[in-house]
Amino acid sequence: MDMNAYLSMFIDESNDHLQALNENLLQLEGAPEDLSIVQSIFRSAHTLKGMSATMGYEDLASLTHEMENVLDLVRNSKLKMDSFIFDTLFKGLDALEAMVQDIVGGGTGKADVTAIVAVLQSIFKGDYKSNAVAAPVASAAAVAPAVNKPAAKGLLDEFQTSILQQSIESGHLAYHITVSINEDCVLKAARAYMVFDLLERTGEIVKSDPSVQDLEQEKFDRSFVVFTISKFAQDELQQQITSISEIETATVTLLDAESLQMLHVAEAPRAQEAAPAETKDESTTDSAKKEAANQIGSARSQTAASSAPAAVSRTIRVDIDRLDTLMNLFSEMLIDRVRLEQLASEIKRSDLTETVEHMARVSSDLQNIVLKLRMVPVDTVFNRFPRMIRDLAKSLDKKIDLVITGADTELDRTVIDEIGDPLVHLLRNSVDHGIETIDKRIAAGKPETGTIHLRAFHSGNNVFIEVEEDGNGINRDRVLQTAIKNGVVTEAQAKALSNDEIHMLIFAAGFSTADKISDISGRGVGLDVVRSKITSLGGNVSVESALGKGTKFSVQLPLTLSIISAMLIKLGSEKYAIPLSSIVETAIIKREQVLEVHGNKMIEFRNSVIPLISLSRVLESPDYDERDEVETEIVVIRKGDKWAAITVDEFIGQSEIVLKSLGKYLTNIEAVSGATILGDGQVALIIDPNALIK
Amino acid sequence: MGEELKVIVFGLAHEEYGIEVDKVRTIERLSPITRVPKTPSFIKGVINLRGIVVPVIDLRGRFGLGETEPTENSRIIVVAAGELEVGFIVDAANDVIDIDTDTIDSPPEIVGGIKAKYLRGIARLGDSRLLIMLNLSEVLNKNEIIQLEQLEV
């Protein structure tokens, strides 16, 4: 079987199942009595086992098998979950994840899992409490070097076993035959039929896997398994089968009473060696075995995708590069569209104008779709956090609930790829520095379990992600002390700082107030990295904190990094774009409305006094000065909750613009965040309103 | 006999200069340039080069040769060095020639008012014609720009 074709499917699905296992185990930890969760965990583990056995990843399969055994006991209320079992299962999951990662990286997925397997087996046997963990290693080792048969096929039920048993006892020869057909064989069903024909002429077929019907309809891959009673000797039978054309190999194994017993008890032939070590409850194995049979069947029908149209999902996977190319091409078209609109308005021919308007509508629909194609729910980043928080809390001896809301909020793929690390930093920070230890919490009269809220939501052209905890808050004085000690601010500066400004100091480079360095955070790198990462994405991070009540980190991110809505303005002969997302409104003011406060120009706007910034002076405009004018157009912009008005010469209008970088040669231009190409082919600079508000 | 080197020849204040052909992306007529504020005066701004925003610098200004108004012959030579892509405004771009690397001598201290470190060497073309080869990475060296800015302040 050509494994490569199925490998990516296997990897995707294993990752899904591992994620599901992780989530469900966490849920179960919260509600250990809920057997319905155990059921779904069991199903995921089961599917995973089936898939990895089919793909030939035996270590993966054997570990999953052991985990499944334990879960099976829990499912049947024969075992009660406790924290030891949870920890072992989580460890097992980690090992599984590591193996899948190895497979992703092109490895063989092999790993030494004997230790975990041994612990799982001791749990299974119920003797883990007496700490007799070391004993069953031998049987685990026996499972690992599994047989080289293509997959675990050929399971017998009670009835079939007894037929074989009786025929062996009456002196007939019973065989287990694995037949595989040439890869390029066109009529697999016909070849299978020829094998059956031969076997039926010389004896009797007890069971085949897949079933005869499936074989006739070619619903099998390249090999199948037959249990047969025959009068031929072993090598004679083998020779007869291989002499049928296009049969690649036929492995004929003679069955005796003992091996038959094993086949019956163990749920797959590869467990033959391990079987003597296992003395299982008959009824549990039976049900497990049947499910395994179903499972293997379904796993195989998934791999042989063409034969199962129902399993084909309605999504396709697309290379991200192609989406990027699509995006770039669309950007080019958008520039031409603006150009066309301009030409049409100059030419003033109604049918041309109509066509251009129609094209504009189509292209804005297209723009929505192109942008949506690149949108990914933040859940893809959030889903690993519950587990992380659990482990962190355990290692720090704290009790923490992570509450996630808005995981379906969508963000541009490019942003998603980058925000994982900063969020990990913020969450670790909350667990380590934010939430207090249980004793302290009780002493402060808080519930002993701390809560971390992780929220994501849309607002305008931005997505906000908040990390809020009910911990002890930021200690203003200690932050100041450290900041002064580390030379982040001078004492004189410190006096002038507001509370919010002091809280922002924790984002400064080389700042850490942790009294002791832990391996979770507190090395003084972290928050400044978080901030620089988020600013490089065009976002913003801020912090609110109340001592003793908790801290809230708020991360503001742009929805997309490629196309934005902007207001185009004129400054003399020059044109600039201001992102619409930071514009509050536009207005016209008269010269006498401008107030002077401490030499700074301010205006009264909506009942508050806000600074008036001269854009022409910030940008050193060569041919415009608003001081010559009696009436000036202003744009009111905001950064967080700070507002400011900037003076402009003239409004041109609103437009969708494509963000372009200024290139590597021009970096860090003050108050300019990038450039865009206008309809007339000219370059206009994009103003960074965040840089204008200090 | 050394290796053959294909160079683009351009004129700048009565001198002839050369840039290796493989460093040159394209040669364009002057198009409208968008000024970028708060940059050294020799950085003229940015242009739209078929959808890509490219910064343009005036080589005369860069070398301190005294800037002049652009003429009909002025060209923008877009060069690529490493990750940088930059356009040079030159007085004229007239020729592509092959030169022998053996004919390139190391430059004297100052050539036509330009410091030697911006130059790769001087190639002799026939008896009376000299071609000044530019050292692109030095011309585009940003550290020096920062120093320049500090001097201006």
The highest-level CATH class for domain A377-558 is alpha beta
B31 CA: distance to closest CA in chain A (Å): 9
Q: Residue A651 belongs to what H/E stretch? A: strand A650-658
Binned at pLDDT 50, 70 and 90, residue A145 comes out as very low
Q: Of A177-181, A196-200, A333-337, B88-92, which has the strongest mean pLDDT?
A: B88-92
**Active-site residue among A68, A466, A633, A656?**
A68
**By percentage, how much of chain A surpasses pLDDT 70?**
82
> What is the DSSP track for A136-156?
THHHHHHHSS---SSSS----
Find the mean pLDDT for residues A519-532: 62
A429 noted as active-site residue: yes
Residue A572 above 90 pLDDT?
no
Q: Of A383-387, A525-529, B80-84, which has the strongest mean pLDDT?
A: A383-387
Which tokens go with A206?
Answer: 């007890």
Given 3.40.50.410, 3.40.50.300, 2.40.50.180, 2.30.30.100, which CATH number is that of A563-692? 2.40.50.180
pLDDT in tens, A256-297: 766 666 665 544 444 444 444 444 444 444 444 444 445 444
pLDDT in tens, B4-54: 888 899 988 888 888 989 889 899 888 889 999 888 888 899 998 877 889
Determine the pLDDT at residue A568: 92
Give the Cα-Cα-Cα angle A18, A135, A138 (nearest 5 degrees).
70
Determine the pLDDT at residue A204: 75
Q: Is A683 part of the contact surface with chain B (CB cutoff 8 Å)?
A: yes
**Active-site residue among A22, A24, A429, A472?**
A429
Give the Cα-Cα-Cα angle A363, A364, A365 (nearest 5 degrees).
90
Binned at pLDDT 50, 70 and 90, residue A67 comes out as confident
Interface contacts A/B by beta carbons within 8 Å: 72
Q: Of A41-45, A130-134, A283-287, A424-428, which has the strongest mean pLDDT?
A: A424-428
Domains and CATH numbers, chain B: 4-152 (2.40.50.180)
Determine the pLDDT at residue A94: 84
Of the candidates B35, B48, B83, the beta carbon closest to that of A664 is on B83
Q: Which of A38, A49, A60, A120 is nearest to A292 (CA)?
A: A49
Chain A residues in contact with B142 by the CB 8 A cut-off are 665
Inter-chain CB proximity B84 and A669 less than 8 Å = no
Inter-chain CB proximity B32 and A682 less than 8 Å = yes
- A404 versus A111: the higher-pLDDT residue is A404
Determine the pLDDT at residue A228: 79
Q: Which of B35, B1, B108 is nearest to A669 (CA)?
A: B35
Chain A residues in contact with B86 by the CB 8 A cut-off are 663, 665
A600 CA: distance to closest CA in chain B (Å): 22
C-alpha to C-alpha distance for A100 and A51, rounded to whole angstroms: 12
Tell me the backbone φ, ψ of residue A235, rounded to 5 degrees.
-75, -25
Q: Which residue of B has its CA nearest to A336?
A: B51
Find the mean pLDDT for residues A299-328: 60
C-alpha to C-alpha distance for A49 and A57, rounded to whole angstroms: 9
A337 CA: distance to closest CA in chain B (Å): 13
Residue A611 above 60 pLDDT?
yes
Find the mean pLDDT for residues A452-481: 84
Q: Is A55 part of the contact surface with chain B (CB cutoff 8 Å)?
A: no
- A186 versus A97: the higher-pLDDT residue is A97
C-alpha to C-alpha distance for B104 and B4, rounded to whole angstroms: 11
- A575 versus A155: the higher-pLDDT residue is A575
A681 CA: distance to closest CA in chain B (Å): 7
Binned at pLDDT 50, 70 and 90, residue A509 comes out as low
Chain B residues in contact with A619 by the CB 8 A cut-off are 37-38
Find the mean pLDDT for residues A412-440: 84
Determine the pLDDT at residue B78: 92
Inter-chain CB proximity B55 and A665 less than 8 Å = yes
Q: How far is CA A549 from the centre of its chain?
A: 32
Of the candidates B38, B43, B46, the beta carbon closest to that of A683 is on B46
Q: Are strands A410-412 and A375-377 parallel, antiparallel or unpaired?
A: antiparallel
Strands (E), A505-590: 540-546, 550-558, 563-571, 574-579, 583-590
Q: Residue A332 belongs to what H/E stretch? A: helix A320-347
Q: Are strands B129-134 and B15-20 parallel, antiparallel or unpaired?
A: parallel
Determine the pLDDT at residue A511: 66
Determine the pLDDT at residue B120: 81
Binned at pLDDT 50, 70 and 90, residue B55 comes out as very high
In CATH, the number for domain A158-266 is 3.30.70.1110
Find the mean pLDDT for residues A668-673: 80
Q: Of A189-193, A202-206, A585-589, A668-672, which has the strongest mean pLDDT?
A: A585-589
Neighbours of A568 (CB within 10 A): 19
C-alpha to C-alpha distance for B59 and B43, rounded to whole angstroms: 9
Q: What is the DSSP letter of A436?
A: P
Inter-chain CB proximity B37 and A335 less than 8 Å = no
Residue A487 above 60 pLDDT?
yes
Determine the pLDDT at residue A258: 67
On the 0-12 / 13-18 / 19+ scale of CB atoms within 10 A, B131 is buried
AA identity, residue A448 = E
3-state secondary structure chain B: CCCEEEEEEEEECCEEEEEEHHHEEEEEECCCCECCCCCCCCEEEEEEECCEEEEEEEHHHHCCCCCCCCCCCCEEEEEEECCEEEEEEECEEEEEEEEEHHHEECCCCEECCEEHHHEEEEEEECCCEEEEEECHHHHCCHHHHHHHHHHHC
pLDDT in tens, A80-94: 777 788 888 888 888
C-alpha to C-alpha distance for B14 and A627, rounded to whole angstroms: 44
3-state secondary structure A369-410: HHHHHCEEECHHHHCCHHHHHHHHHHHHCCEEEEEEECCCCE
Chain B residues in contact with A661 by the CB 8 A cut-off are 53
A68 noted as active-site residue: yes
Determine the pLDDT at residue A274: 41
Residue A577 above 90 pLDDT?
yes
C-alpha to C-alpha distance for A624 and A576, rounded to whole angstroms: 13
Q: Which of A27, A47, A284, A262 is nearest to A161 (CA)?
A: A262
Determine the pLDDT at residue A461: 65
* ipTM rounded to 2 decimals: 0.84
Q: What is the dihedral of CA A332, A338, A341, A347, to 10 degrees?
A: -90
Q: Which residue of A has its CA nearest to B44?
A: A666
Inter-chain CB proximity B85 and A665 less than 8 Å = yes
Determine the pLDDT at residue A133: 39
Given 1.20.120.160, 3.40.718.10, 1.10.10.10, 1.10.2020.10, which CATH number is that of A3-143? 1.20.120.160
In the three-class reduction of DSSP (H, G, I as helix; E, B as strand; rest coil), residue A157 is classed as: coil
**Segment A288-291 long-range contacts (CB within 8 Å, at least 24 positions apart):** A288/A68, A288/A72, A289/A155, A291/A46
Inter-chain CB proximity A622 and B35 less than 8 Å = yes
The model carries a pTM of 0.51
Q: Which residue of B has its CA nearest to A330?
A: B51
Q: Are strands B4-12 and B15-20 parallel, antiparallel or unpaired?
A: antiparallel
Neighbours of B129 (CB within 10 A): 10
Inter-chain CB proximity A666 and B55 less than 8 Å = yes
Average pLDDT, chain B: 81
Question: A 546-585 residues with CB below 8 A of B?
Answer: 574
Residues from B contacting A (CB-CB < 8 Å) are: 31-32, 34-39, 43, 45-48, 51-55, 83-86, 140, 142
